[in-house]
A and B are shown apart, each in its own frame.
Chain A
């Protein structure tokens, strides 16, 4: 891992390389273990005990089949998907407009708006859930997936604005000016020039909004009393028995819930790493 090609490897160098290798191994073990254990428990035929589940001798997909056929897990998945997609569409659009406003315009109260967006993120959901519950109850929006999505749009907005603001600011003003010189109106410039350049950032923020909606627990728990309307985060509790827990089923369902989030995370990470603006400046 270290560059020891052109110099004679001294004892110290080998020790450093060895230490680094051990550190990397420890990091990988710590970071991957829960995910691995979740998967191995889901795949093991007898997940009655932790050690049996650690190295499944006889892997099986029974638990996954059981999760899909028994209980309303498919309904929960559908509900979560619906709510998450509504959230993504709503929050991306609103956040893009707001991000352009704070990144491209100098106006009074601009700093106030930015600070407010930053500060509002620290408000705990536990403080909002009581009045949101009463509000939803008054508006007959309890057990409504649309109502839940609406709240998630608001929840994911501050972070989305904050993040997109960076992407918009990274687009050089010269690109915009060039569009004006070519005779484009502001609207034309927005959709034909700014929008494509910010698109990678929009993908990243969409994914974060999706994950917010997909993972959210406390509001879904409070709003959704009807089993038909559970999202996956809440529906997972259905797999817990009164006295004993079928850990194989719980872990299989957890794996299914985790997979889309994980795929999206790896996707975002790539997008973020591969220099988002470099293409724009070259063009």
Chain B
């Protein structure tokens, strides 16, 4: 309380301007301004730190251990260095099954989602406002279907004995009465997963790209039209460059989502581990950890998946995000 008395006479002498607020009040306001954002952030950062960052660090730590059921009970670690990684990376299963089931699938799923979403966004732009609202509302229905229920619906549609697809193909004489099991073959299994993912994922792309399309000034298209550009050229030369950030965001997010697909594979027949041909990284890690009680190896698989996602995230962030967008 003594400080204002001491400093107050000094302030007018130092400052060239007119009268100023008391320095002590200014100082405390400044401190408050410095502390306030961190006080506001603290609860969220604490939750993220304890429940997301710490488990992530622990899974990395676990991946250097041989952590089985007895370790869970005793709580004693059994370090084995890089053994888990050596075992995984020399396992042909990773290269011929799990990686293609994750990465090749993601390429097709992201490609399908972004292309279909963009086409539908272009269609929506050309509709009258009333129809645009109606179609957008209907698209939301696909987005709103929870992953668990939509997976069950697709399984039911492709049911081996009684499913709609079987009955349609049988009626057309394309397959015999014994039917065809779509879920045992890796390719058809993932065709169904892709259908499920694209169906669920395209509405987000369509709605976001439409929002981007509507921000493009009409003059740009008119100028291109005057220059004699056709629809195809206008799309690639005007639309795509203008809303490139929008495409960047939908592609990043779709890629990240499609790499970590879980329920849509796990709930499919054979997807929970009984059919080793159809596991992707996420399900493989889960099955290794919780069905085979090999938590260390499961953690190593999870770490590899996380590293792949981190690499994708960094590449995209660096290539496509401008610094200004984060400011």
Q: CB within 8 A of B327: which of A1, A37, A111, A237?
A: A111
Contacts known (A105-B33, A115-B326, A127-B305); A38 close to B153, Cβ less than 8 A: yes
Is A61 part of the contact surface with B, judged by Cβ < 8 Å?
Answer: no
Contacts known (A1-B131, A254-B152, A262-B144); A130 close to B313, Cβ less than 8 A: no
A231-283 at interface with B (beta carbon < 8 Å): 233, 236-237, 247, 250-251, 254-255, 257-258, 261-262, 264-266, 269
Q: Majority SS of interface residues in chain A?
A: helix
Q: Is the CB of A50 within 8 A of B163?
A: yes
**B62 / chain A contacts, CB cutoff of 8 Å:** 130-131
Q: How many residues does chain A have at the interface if contact means C-beta atoms less than 8 Å apart? A: 90
Q: CB within 8 A of A37: which of B120, B141, B164?
A: B164
**A97 / chain B contacts, CB cutoff of 8 Å:** 40-41, 43-44
Q: Is the CB of A124 within 8 A of B302?
A: yes
Q: How many residues does chain B have at the interface if contact means C-beta atoms less than 8 Å apart? A: 91
Q: Which residue of A lies closest to B202 (CB)?
A: A31
Q: Roughly how many angstroms separate A134 CA and B147 CA in the complex, as a whole number?
A: 26
Q: Is the CB of B127 within 8 A of A1?
A: yes
Q: Majority SS of interface residues in chain B?
A: helix
Is A74 part of the contact surface with B, judged by Cβ < 8 Å?
Answer: no
Q: Which residue of A lies closest to B263 (CB)?
A: A217
Q: Is the CB of A157 within 8 A of B143?
A: no
Q: Which residue of A lies closest to B264 (CB)?
A: A217
Q: Is the CB of A101 within 8 A of B306?
A: no
Is B55 part of the contact surface with A, judged by Cβ < 8 Å?
Answer: yes
Q: Which residue of A lies closest to B150 (CB)?
A: A34
Interface flags, A39-75, vs B, CB<8A=1, else 0: 0010000001111011000000000000000000000
Is B256 part of the contact surface with A, judged by Cβ < 8 Å?
Answer: yes
Contacts known (A151-B51, A258-B149); A107 close to B34, Cβ less than 8 A: yes
Q: Is the CB of B262 within 8 A of A218?
A: yes
Q: Roughly how many angstroms separate A118 CA and B313 CA in the complex, as a whole number?
A: 9
Q: Is the CB of A38 within 8 A of B149?
A: yes
> Min CB distance, A160 to chain B, in Å?
9
Enumerate 5 A-B pairs (CB-CB under 8 Å) in ascending A order.
A30-B199, A97-B40, A127-B56, A261-B144, A269-B207
**Which A positions have Cβ atoms within 8 angstroms of B?**
1-3, 20, 23-24, 27-28, 30-32, 34-35, 37-38, 41, 48-51, 53-54, 93-95, 97-98, 100-102, 104-105, 107, 110-111, 113-115, 117-135, 137-138, 150-151, 153-155, 157-158, 161, 186, 211, 214-215, 217-218, 222, 233, 236-237, 247, 250-251, 254-255, 257-258, 261-262, 264-266, 269
Listed from nearest, the 3 A-B pairs whose CB atoms lie closest are: A50-B164, A154-B51, A265-B144
